[in-house]
């Protein structure tokens, strides 16, 4: 069992000392969030707030705590030119001389907090473009390909950190002394799978191509796929994607017609892009069902996206099933 810690490991995966320092700060924040979550109701911070966030969702108190913790810590780092969070209306400028923009979903899956089910923190790091201002939205509107680093902390039975700086995906586990230790050098998504992850209760709202594709998985041995599939849905993207990164599978939150003008439920900048980079770096594929998520040129910081990611061969099957769908509709929805 390797015992290298995060600091030692990062030396092998990036020559950029400032980036390594930044990632360590983010990991520190995740450790503090993990400590709060571990105490659960004992801290008295699990109740819902009156407040709603910019996207009209009720915020749990811990969403706010996690957001403030990350925001304060990151804006104090000289290399950080600004931050953008799922829980903030607008990006917040940091040091004008800084190099990095940090984007995060402070507590993903927060509908799971009060039932003691896994949640997580997702983050993405971009470079501040030449002449741009870290307090302005336009600085952040870069495709996912430009991410310098991406990762997530999963607050499950153990707290883990999965991270990429563009050289594969490394996984760390938090020990009792608050240190992240390397447990996997290279996460690797098997190309084939028999497991899928989708909120089946939305079935009637999906487009026909997705209905047909999932229909074939449900038909199992009696359908065209000739094998039985298993289904898992935790409703914490971090936990569902972690399972995919660990043992394969596909995860999808597709477009549906409940709100037809929204490209999807999940957010491109805080969820779609970082998870897609991690999945690609672990040998999988990530798509909107029509095109690669990492190639989308964002137009809004809080924009949403349809997501399907995971085992390469299964995502290829899903893409083939979507071929008949109109390309113009996909373009119209920026998917």
- Which CB atom, from 105 or from 195, has the smaller least distance to Mg ion? 105
Based on the shown chain and the rule CB under 5 A, indicate whether residue 240 belongs to the binding site for Mg ion: no
Based on the shown chain and the rule CB under 6 A, indicate whether residue 195 belongs to the binding site for ligand AHM: no
Q: Mask: binding to ligand AHM, 144-183, rule CB under 6 A, as x and -? A: ----------------------------------------
In three state form, how does the secondary structure of 60-115 look? EHHHHHHHHHHHHHHHCCCCEEEEEECCCCCCEECCCCCCEEEEEEEEECHHHHHH
The single residue among 63, 108, 195, 314 that binds Mg ion, judged by CB under 5 A, is 108
Q: In the numeric block, which tokens belong to residue 7?
A: 């600091």
User: In terms of C-beta density within 10 A (0-12 exposed, 13-18 middle, 19 or more buried), how is residue 135 classed?
Assistant: middle
d(CA 314, CA 10): 32
Q: In the numeric block, which tokens belong to residue 113?
A: 């907090």
Q: For ligand AHM, which stretch binds (CB under 6 A), given 41-49, 74-82, 104-112, 296-304?
A: 104-112
Binds 58: which of ligand AHM, Mg ion, none (CB < 5-8 Å by kind):
none
DSSP string for 140-193: G---GGG-SEEEEEEESSSEEEEEESSS--EEEEE-TTS-EEEEESS----S--
The single residue among 28, 57, 127, 185 that binds ligand AHM, judged by CB under 6 A, is 57
Binds 235: which of ligand AHM, Mg ion, none (CB < 5-8 Å by kind):
ligand AHM
- Which CB atom, from 181 or from 309, has the smaller least distance to ligand AHM? 309
- Which CB atom, from 13 or from 123, has the smaller least distance to ligand AHM? 123
DSSP state of 138: G
Catalog residues that contact Mg ion under the rule CB under 5 A: 105, 108
Catalog residues that contact ligand AHM under the rule CB under 6 A: 57, 105, 108-111, 199, 235-237, 253
């Amino acid at each position: 069992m390797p015992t290298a810690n995060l600091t030692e490991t990062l030396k092998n995966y990036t020559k950029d000392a400032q980036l390594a320092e930044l990632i360590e700060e983010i990991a520190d924040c995740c450790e503090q969030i993990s400590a709060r979550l571990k105490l659960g109701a004992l801290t008295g911070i699990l109740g819902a707030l009156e407040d709603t966030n910019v996207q009209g969702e009720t915020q749990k108190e811990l969403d706010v705590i996690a957001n403030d913790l990350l925001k304060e810590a990151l804006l104090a780092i000289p290399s950080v030119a600004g931050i953008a969070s799922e829980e903030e209306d607008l990006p917040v400028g940091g040091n004008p001389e800084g190099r990095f923009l940090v984007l995060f979903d402070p507590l993903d899956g927060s509908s799971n907090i009060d039932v003691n089910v896994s949640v997580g923190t997702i983050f993405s790091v971009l470079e501040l473009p030449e002449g741009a201002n870290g307090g302005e939205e336009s600085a952040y509107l870069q495709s996912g390909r430009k991410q310098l680093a991406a990762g997530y902390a999963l607050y499950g039975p153990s707290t883990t950190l999965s991270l990429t700086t563009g050289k594969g995906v490394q996984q760390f586990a938090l020990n009792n002394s608050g240190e992240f230790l390397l447990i996997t050098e290279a996460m690797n998504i098997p190309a084939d799978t028999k497991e899928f992850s989708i909120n089946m209760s939305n079935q009637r709202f999906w487009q026909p191509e997705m209905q047909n594709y999932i229909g074939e998985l449900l038909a199992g041995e009696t359908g065209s796929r000739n094998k039985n599939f298993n289904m898992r849905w935790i409703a914490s993207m971090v936990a569902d994607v972690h399972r995919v990164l660990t043992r394969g599978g596909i995860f999808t939150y597709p477009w549906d017609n409940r709100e037809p003008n929204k490209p999807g439920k999940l957010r491109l900048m805080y969820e779609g892009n970082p998870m897609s980079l991690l999945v690609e770096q672990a040998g999988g594929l990530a798509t909107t069902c029509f095109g690669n998520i990492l190639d989308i040129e964002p137009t809004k910081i809080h924009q949403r996206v349809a997501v399907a990611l995971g085992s390469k061969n299964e995502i290829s099957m899903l893409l083939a099933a979507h071929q008949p769908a109109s390309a113009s509709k996909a373009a119209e929805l920026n998917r």
